[in-house]
Structure 1
Amino acid sequence: MSLAVGAASSSKNMGFDGRNDGEEETRVSGSLPPPSPTPTEEALGKGDYSRQMSETSLYATEEEDDDSEIELGPKCSLKEQLEKDKEDESLRRWKEQLLGKVDLDSVGETLEPDVKILNFHILSPGRPELVLPLPEAGNPKGLWFTLKEGSPYSLKFSFKVNNNIVSGLKYTNTVWKTGVKVDSTKEMLGTFSPQAEPYTHEMPEETTPSGMFARGSYSARSKFVDDDNTCYLEINYTFDIRREWAST
């Protein structure tokens, strides 16, 4: 399922939109670029975030991520980052806008960020939100959800960031049908500082495919990974596309 969990709305059929097999879609939303000597509002970026299938044999064993390695500088705690270049007024203002209100007593000297995915919801016009139960450990057992063919839908999720800044957080989703990869999507979410309120993100609206060949069972793998290649959630699941929505 192209549950890519955005920015401008788009509509496509899940994995049947004419892309070559294995071709990956990338969307960028809400990411913050590195500071310039004189930061501007554009340089800081404007995101759309608010503060506030089960059998292993179903999944392909190929590596879906082909990103080249990114050379990152040494890690430092959030306190150290705030202390750096504090004499530079433009950098100080940029950091304040990036970080917002951070309780330094709660972040301490921790180097590693902690990202927790809180929930998944499927939205479809004219229907109540479908809340997907997210297991605390492991993968959903059995069928996770059902979508109606030819229906618009979008995925919404919330996540919490603690301890330190998470850089380059992205969501990837790969879908297979009868062992053949039919869709691969990547959504760059951005860079986020610790805060008390969770971040919420809604993917662009898509449309499920329709017809005899589109109906049936799919397997999928979703991951949340940052620039350090730290994986905060990997979840394997199955879902169906049917003639009608599942009865509630």
Structure 2
Amino acid sequence: MGFDENKQEISGDSTDVLNVKEKEEGVSVNEPNKEKLTRKSSEDSVLTIEDDEDDDDAESKINLGPQCSLKDQLEKDKDDESLRKWKEQLLGSVDINAIGETLDPEVKILSLAIKSPGRDDILLQIPENGKVKGNWFTLKEGSRYSLQFAFQVNHNIVSGLKYTNAVWKTGVKVDSTKEMLGTFSPQAEPYKHEMPEETTPSGIFARGSYTARTRFVDDDNKCYLEINYTFDIRKDW
């Protein structure tokens, strides 16, 4: 997860790609003159992360203002017809009365799998404490693969959900991946996402054991899942 021999820096066209992905999910985070629905997470949030000192591109935290429930968000803009319709479109078929007054969104990662052409999917067991015992998986050198995952959003809208992954070999960072997933409203049906296909490095120096850290965080820097693990790249599966 995070190796691509053909990986290039994100160009100016990446914004269009993200917009397309978000529209496919029925969500837009780039509507003009529309305020974001998710606000600063409460002090009661159980799982948060600090700025990543190992991340060369660490972003400063942004104060998005006070957070409020979905009911309050709809109520305060009821006189603005265009904004009200945009929010209703974002929420889709969400039952506001069933959600109640919960402020914090809840994002649960339901499944993780590695897909490789011509092979059965590698289903990854998600650890409860975020730490994997032993080797989590093995990849063949020079093989194509992609990470697929499913997640569920409850209680409130999650804004700017993103996936990050960092990889080290013998203590040296060899790869760092970030992908913006988008903004999602709560719904009973899980969301599904597949990362772009990548290729593992090959050669004698590429083989061996790696350590990595995967995170799912939002605009408030709230972390919904962090996994620390090791994996191998070998000459064969």
1:152 is aligned to 2:141: no
CA-to-aligned-CA distance 1:52-98 (integer Å, 9 cap, x gap): xxxxxxxxx94326102213021110111111221222112211221
- The AA in structure 2 aligned to 1:36 is P
Is the partner of 2:233 in helix, strand or coil? Answer: strand
Number of the residue aligned with 1:104: 96
SS for the counterpart of 1:141 is strand
Judge conservation of contact 2:70–2:156 (CA < 8 Å) in 1: yes
Higher relative contact order (CA 8 A, sep 6+): 1
Question: 8 Å contact 1:122–1:129 — kept in the other structure?
Answer: yes
Counterpart of 2:60?
68
**Alpha-carbon displacement from aligned partner over 1:195-237 (angstroms, at most 9, x marks no partner):** 0011100000001111001111100000111111111111100
Determine if the alignment matches structure 1 residue 215 to structure 2 residue 207: yes
User: 1:80 maps to which residue?
Assistant: 72
Which stretch of the first structure deviates more once superposed, 214-223 or 85-94? 85-94
2:157 aligned partner: 165
Q: Against the structure 1 CA distance between its residues 212 and 196, is the aligned structure 2 distance closer, same or farther, given a 3 Å change threshold?
A: same
CA distance in 2, matches of 1:63, 1:212: 27
What's the secondary structure of 2:133's corresponding residue?
Answer: coil
Q: How far apart in 1 are the matches of 2:7 and 2:106?
A: 36
Structure 1 segments (4+ residues) deviating >6 Å: none
CA contact 1:35–1:91 (8 Å) conserved in 2: no
- Residue type matched to 2:63 in 1? E
Contact 1:125 1:153 in 2 (8 A): yes
Distance 1:18 1:197, change over 3 A: closer
Q: Distance in 2 between matches of 1:76 and 1:203?
A: 32
The match for 2:32 among 33, 36, 47 is 36
Which range moves more in the overlay, 82-91 or 186-195? 82-91
The answer for the alignment partner of 1:135 in structure 2 is: 127
Structure 2 SS opposite 1:69: coil
**Contact 1:174–1:184 (CA under 8 A) maintained in structure 2:** yes
**TM-score in terms of structure 1 length:** 0.77
| Alpha-carbon shift at residue 17 of structure 1 (Å) | 5.5
Equivalent position amino acid for 1:205 in 2: E
Secondary structure (helix, strand or coil) at the match of 2:78 reads coil
TM-score for the superposition, normalised by structure 2 = 0.81
Residue 136 of structure 1 deviates from its aligned partner by 2.2
- Tell me, yes or no, if structure 1 residue 124 matches structure 2 residue 120: no
User: 1-side partners of 2:84 and 2:163: how far apart?
Assistant: 30
Contact 2:61 2:220 in 1 (8 A): no
**Structure 2 contact 127–227 (Cα < 8 Å) conserved:** no
Sequence identity, in percent? 68
3-state SS of paired residue (1:119)? strand
How many Å separate the matches in 1 of 2:232 and 2:169?
Answer: 10
Alignment CA distance shift 1:234-1:184 (3 Å): same
Q: Is the 8 A contact 2:130 2:225 kept in 1?
A: no
Partner residue, 2:38: none
**2:8 & 2:219 partners in 1: Cα distance?**
30
- Corresponding residue of 2:216: 224
Structure 1 CA distance for aligned equivalents of residues 195 and 177 of structure 2? 11
Distance change in 2, residues 1:17/1:75 (3 Å): closer
Aligned residues: 208
The one-letter code of the counterpart of 1:83 is: E
- The corresponding residue for 2:184 is 192
Q: Please report how far the alpha carbon of residue 33 of structure 1 lies from its aligned counterpart in structure 2 after TM superposition.
A: 2.4
| 1:156-195: CA deviation from partner (whole Å, max 9, x where unpaired) | 0011100100111111100000100000111111111100
Whichever residue aligns with residue 125 of structure 2, its letter is: P
What is the identity, as a one-letter code, of the residue corresponding to 1:168? G
